[in-house]
């Protein structure tokens, strides 16, 4: 099976990216592909968070376990996409800036029979939100936030506080 996944950014409203990936690929395969296509540093911490339709967290699939005793976190290299992404409209987040708590909102928009040789980039439009290193001193304008913090206060300091209801049901 081939999963077709759309990524949107809360930080840069005109950014959209669509990818196709085999359902038997691991989350590590998807992570590596996304990092390459986005021009990000793959050594930075990242996680996928499987969510329900209202973006409530259900399961974290992480690059590394912060606590070896935490059985609730699954490692990317051990998790197949098809084990978690089984339905059209399945939602997840890709936390790409772990320390800044910034993520892409993702949704499976189609599932088809077939097999790809490797993941494929179908579409990438808009400015890619920058990945932040801990020592970067980027401003809101650099991040594409456009003054959201001034308008909304500290709400955007926590990814759980983002209001995904502002995103359309069908991305």
Domain-embedded: residue 134? yes
Transcribe 81-135 into DSSP letters.
Answer: HHHH--STT-EEEEEEETTTTEEEEEEEEEEES---SS-EEEEEESPPPPP--TT
10 Å CB burial of residue 99 (0-12, 13-18, 19+) is exposed
Q: What is the DSSP letter of 29?
A: H
pLDDT tens digit sequence for 86-130: 999 999 999 988 777 789 999 999 999 999 999 999 999 999 988
What's the chain's average pLDDT? Answer: 81
Other CB atoms within 10 A of residue 155 CB: 12
Check which CATH number belongs to the domain holding 141 and give it: 3.10.290.30
41 or 7: which leads in pLDDT: 7
Q: Work out the percent of the chain whose per-residue pLDDT is above 70.
A: 73
Instruction: Give the helix/strand (H/E) hosting 148.
Output: helix 148-152
| CA dist., res. 141 & res. 41, Å (int) | 21
Instruction: Give me the mean pLDDT over the 5-30 stretch.
Output: 95
Domain limits for position 155: 2-165
User: Using the 8-state DSSP alphabet, how is residue 167 labeled?
Assistant: S
CA dist., res. 151 & res. 156, Å (int): 10
Q: What's the CA gap between 13 and 127, in Å, rounded?
A: 9
Determine the average pLDDT of the residues in 144-148. Answer: 47
Q: What pLDDT digit, counting tens, does each position of 75-88 carry?
A: 999 999 999 999 99
Q: Is 116 within 8 Å of 78 (Cβ atoms)? A: no
Indicate the pTM of the whole model: 0.75
Q: Is residue 171 part of a domain?
A: no
For the chain, the farthest-separated pair of C-alpha atoms sits apart, in whole angstroms, at 47
Number of domain units in the chain:
1
Q: Looking at the predicted structure, is the pLDDT value of residue 21 above 90?
A: yes
Decide if 170 is inside a domain: no
């Amino acid at each position: 099976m081939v999963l077709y996944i759309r990524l949107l950014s809360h930080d840069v409203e005109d950014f959209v990216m669509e990818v196709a990936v085999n359902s038997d690929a691991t989350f590590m395969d998807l992570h590596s592909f996304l990092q390459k296509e986005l021009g990000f540093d793959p050594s930075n911490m990242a996680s996928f968070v499987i969510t329900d339709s209202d973006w409530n967290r259900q399961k974290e699939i992480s690059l590394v376990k912060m606590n070896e005793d935490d059985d609730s976190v699954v490692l990317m290299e051990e998790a197949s996409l098809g084990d978690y992404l089984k339905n059209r409209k399945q939602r997840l987040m890709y936390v790409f800036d772990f320390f800044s708590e910034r993520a892409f909102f993702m949704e499976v928009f189609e599932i088809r029979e077939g097999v790809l040789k490797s993941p494929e980039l179908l579409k990438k439009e808009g400015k890619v939100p920058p990945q932040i290193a801990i020592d970067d001193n980027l401003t809101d304008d650099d991040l594409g936030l456009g003054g959201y913090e001034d308008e909304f206060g500290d709400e955007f300091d926590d990814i759980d506080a983002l209001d995904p209801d502002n995103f359309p049901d069908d991305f």
